[in-house]
Amino acid sequence: MAPNDLMSNAEDVADQFLRVTKQYLPHIARLCLISTFLEDGIRMWFQWSEQKEYIETTWSCGFFLATLFVLINLLGQLGGCILILSRNFVQYACFGLFAIIALQTVAYSILWDPKFLMRNLALGGGLLLLLAESRSEGRSMFAGVPTMRESSPKQYMQLGGRVLLVLMFMTLLHFDTSFLSILQNLVGTALIVLVAIGFKTKLAALTLVIWLLAINVYFNAFWTIPAYKPMHDFLKYDFFQTTSVIGGLLLIVALGPGGVSMDEKKKEW
């Protein structure tokens, strides 16, 4: 089978998937995207003392500031998730969750860990896509005069969200000389480039969803580790953060890449 025929068949399968799931795919995407915030907010409740003690010890900030940090994380994350799922004040919820990411990046010294920093940036990319989805297109000041799509902030939010989202996959590349690793790196790099530039975007994003879902279930199976072991919490955190990136990719599959993309430019050509 020729490569063009293979690509055409794959796109047909992706289109069929979208036709079947278009009613509920955006809802699944939003639920996946906020899953890491929901899990972390619940964890703040059940590990209140441990989290407070960690912040107080690490930063020597005293009881009050440590308690305030945990409280902001708990209420900010759970409140933001409730607003997003109920479709109320979504933009404010997204900005609140952006602030939570920034706060945790500093508080947990993620800023100096390239792997976790890229994953936090990818999570921010997912929120940016959600923010773009919730943002209504600006109306023209004059009736009947359309706005320029290229100048819409929504289009650039989608571009920024796509670029940040694929940073997750930079943390999955394995730099060794085995054939399987080289093949995985080549295929993965090709797919993330396609998503970033917005070419064959829905097919590339759907392929990344399947790939990332398989990796997540296989490598981050926290349910196989006893709850009292530290590895359980580590894998659980990684699992839900990866699920959030899957949610961002599903938003791209459901809504497309936006105006600043090669797919959109092809329509003009």
Rounded Cα gap, residues 258 and 151, in angstroms: 12
How confident is the model at residue 153, as a pLDDT? 83
Instruction: Average the pLDDT over 233-246 and give the result.
Output: 91
Q: What's the number of CA atoms in the CB half-sphere (13 Å) around residue 245?
A: 32
**Sole residue written with tokens 């399947």:** 210
- Conformation bin of residue 144: beta by default, left when phi > 0, alpha when psi is -120 to 50: left
Query: For 199-220, what is the mean pLDDT?
Result: 89
What CA–CA distance (Å, rounded) separates 82 from 99?
Answer: 16
The predicted structure's pLDDT at residue 16? 81
Q: What's the token pair of residue 234?
A: 């580590």
Within a domain: 198: yes
Q: What is the mean pLDDT of residues 173-182?
A: 73
Task: Tell me what the mean pLDDT of segment 45-64 comes to.
Answer: 92
Please give the Cα distance from 222 to 218 (Å, whole number).
Answer: 10
Residue 11, domain member (yes or no): no
- Look up residue 96 and give its two tokens: 């609140």
- CA–CA dist 135, 117 (Å, integer): 27
User: 181: pLDDT confidence band, cut at 50, 70 and 90?
Assistant: confident
Please give the tally of structural domains in the chain.
1
pLDDT value at residue 30: 93
* Domain assignment of residue 202, yes or no: yes
* Burial of 25 per CB tally in 10 Å (0-12, 13-18, 19+): middle
**Is 109 part of any domain?**
yes
In a domain, 146, yes or no: no
Per-residue pLDDT, averaged over 200-218, amounts to: 89
Q: Domain for residue 175, yes or no?
A: yes
Distances (CA, A) of 175 to 119, 167, 208, 211, 254: 18, 16, 19, 18, 33
Enclosing domain of residue 43: 25-133+155-264
Which residue matches tokens 């997750």?
Answer: 168
Reported as a pLDDT band with limits 50, 70 and 90, residue 172 is confident
SS3 122: helix
Report the distance separating Cα 61 and Cα 70, nearest Å.
13
- Decide if pLDDT at 111 tops 60: yes
**According to the model, what pLDDT value does residue 4 have?**
64
- Residue for token digits 């070419």? 199
pLDDT score of 174: 65
pLDDT of residue 142: 37
In this prediction, residue 136 has a pLDDT band, given cuts at 50, 70 and 90, of: low
Report if residue 17 sits inside a domain. no
Which of 110, 107, 99, 49 has the alpha carbon at shortest distance from 75? 99
Residue 206 domain-assigned (yes or no): yes
